[in-house]
Amino acid sequence: MKRTSIISVNFNQPEVTIDFLRSIKVHANLALTEVILVDNGSRENREADFLAEFPGVIYIRSEHNLGFAGGNNLGINRASGDYLLLLNNDTEITSGLIETLTNELDNNADIGLVSPLLLYFDAPEVIQYAGFSEMNYMTCRNSVIGGMELNTGQYDQDSRETAFCHGAAMMCRTADLKSVGLMEEQFFLYYEELDWCEKFRRAGKKIWFTGKTKVYHKESMSVGKESIIKTYFMTRNRILFIRRNTSMLNTLLFCIYYISFASPKQILIYLGKGRKDLVKWFFRGIGWNLSHSKDSTELGFKI
């Protein structure tokens, strides 16, 4: 029988992670499931607590925060399953999740990555994700399908290609990584899963969504508080994503659009919110791309 390796990354959220492990114990076939937990530079070592809750968990501790991609890559390198299921530690799974996702992969060899329906944990009747629309590479903008809709079962039978998977829950075959490779750790935070989807596409694989199963995500329904780290990496990585995944001509046209239109608009938004402090980090995100190659692993931000 084929086995699945579940990989999740914890960063200073031990209680949330314990809830996540409990959901796996309840809803997964543990005889066919390997669970790998990467503790990604957390302040406290809570290995004993995690093992007490889930004695079979494979615990990996990194003394430094390696970011979303780096933490998951640590787990991937340790995994022994035929399938890899990357789950945020602030998710809780449902019965049949693993079986449904593996069936999607088994029934269509062209699928590279697949994500399930995501619902908000605190508002389980509200959809967070049912796929993504195609990216406009001139503006680096797209939209989430189903976002904030009431879940009436409208996506329950969907099984279709989509533009991008959602980083909170996505599965692939371990064997496909021989041609695709791991996630790019240079992103650190934001856009890394979108870049990974592009790598799968270049390897001839499709990006997939299925509404036949679901995951509950504890992410807030609100946009969330702006921060220096979010501003910097969202700016830096939006440009980096375009540099890595489009032609020189498209990159040039995107930069003209970004500098001429998107940047002034964003700066006005920050000023309107009274967040002049974020303007500096917005420009630093742009500046990183002017001074570093698209393959540079220098973050430009002290973590």
74 lies in the same domain as 184:
yes
Total domain count for the chain? Answer: 2
Closest CA to 256 of 169, 140, 108, 97: 140
Q: Residue 297 domain-assigned?
A: no
Closest CA to 88 of 216, 220, 196: 216
**Tens place of pLDDT for every residue, the chain, 303 residues?**
899 999 999 999 999 999 999 999 999 999 999 999 999 999 999 999 999 999 999 999 999 999 999 999 999 999 999 999 999 999 999 999 999 999 999 999 999 999 999 999 999 999 999 999 999 999 999 999 999 999 999 999 999 999 999 999 999 999 999 999 999 999 999 999 999 999 999 999 999 999 999 999 999 776 567 899 999 999 999 999 999 999 999 999 999 999 999 999 999 999 999 999 999 999 999 999 999 999 999 999 987
205 lies in the same domain as 234:
no
User: What confidence score (pLDDT) does residue 221 get?
Assistant: 76
198 lies in the same domain as 262:
no
What lies within 8 Å, CB to CB, of 249 at 6+ separation is none
Q: Residue 300 domain-assigned?
A: no
User: What confidence score (pLDDT) does residue 223 get?
Assistant: 53
- For residue 300, the tally of other CB atoms under 10 A from its CB is 16
Domain boundary among the residues 162, 189, 217 is at: 217
180 lies in the same domain as 246:
no
**98 phi/psi in degrees, rounded to 5:** -65, -45
Domain extent at residue 245: 228-291
For residue 9, the domain's CATH number is 3.90.550.10
d(CA 131, CA 145): 5
Closest CA to 238 of 143, 131, 139, 167: 139
Find the radius of gyration of the CA atoms of the chain: 19
